[in-house]
Amino acid sequence: MSQRIRLLIEYDGRPFYGWQRQDDHPTVQGALEAACARLDGAPVLVQGAGRTDAGVHATGQVAHIDLAKPRPIRKIADALNHHLRPAPVSVLKAEEVGEDFHARFSATGRAYRYIIVTRRAHLTFDRGLIWRVPVRLDVAKMQSAATHLIGEHDFSTFRDAGCQAKSPVKTLDTLNVSSFDNRIEVTATARSFLHRQVRSIVGSLVEVGRGMQEPGWMKDILEARDRTTCGPVAPADGLYLERVMYDDHPWGK
């Protein structure tokens, strides 16, 4: 009888071509599956709660695996971390769950955080981990613009051309812009997101923060339902999958 395990995972997305397994490029799913196979002695499918793009990071990704050889739960995270080295991926927690649990389909919500720093100097330590914008941004205007996107809308404007979602209609539960000194964070929560939706929203918010557009422009482009009206898409560098929520609890955070 197999053992289903839920994993809480963090990773640095810089060396990977995204989450989803690819035959000719390193991916987070590929690294985890290789580690799981070494642990279990046979191929193991790792199913994640979300498919992050190339260069996107995670502090609270969730996945599940089925192990053919059950083992003490307390040893699984340490064993997987041993087999994951030196890849910048860590299993923070492992727990046994029922066979009805699915990391993706059981999720009731996801939370993303996007980090921006406003400075003229190039990044030294946080290169690839934060988006550097070399001008000051008006955070109050960015927050004002963000309010137009909260709720259920057709987000076609903020949907990547390659998005495979059946519908562009999503419900954005929260969208907040906060700042401390020269660090700006955009946080968003929803049951699910369209492909590159958060990066598209952040790029447009920065256009408002730069003074290139007024806050009401966000409402206009949302209602246009036209991808060509969207601002430049923010780079992957500053985006983190921070948390995945389930009915039992917002696991890990």
How many residues comprise the chain?
A: 253
At residue 116, the 3 state secondary structure works out as strand
Question: N- to C-terminal Cα distance for the chain?
Answer: 31
For residue 227, give the 3-state DSSP assignment.
helix
Helix axis angle, 197-209 to 216-224, nearest 10°:
140
Taking a C-beta distance cutoff of 8 angstroms, is the pair 81, 91 a contact? yes
Are 157 and 221 in contact by the 8 Å Cβ rule? The answer is: yes
- The answer to whether the peptide bond before residue 86 is cis (omega within 30 degrees of 0) is yes
Cα dihedral across residues 56, 195, 137, 140: positive or negative:
negative
HSE of 162, CA atoms in CB hemisphere, 13 A: 2
Closest CA to 190 of 245, 247, 231, 143: 245
Is residue 53 part of the annotated active site? The answer reads: yes
Amino acid, single-letter form, for residue 50: G
Cα–Cα distance for residue pair 58/89, rounded to 1 Å = 9
Question: Catalytic residue among 12, 53, 154, 160, which?
Answer: 53
The DSSP code for 80 is H
Residues with catalytic function = 53
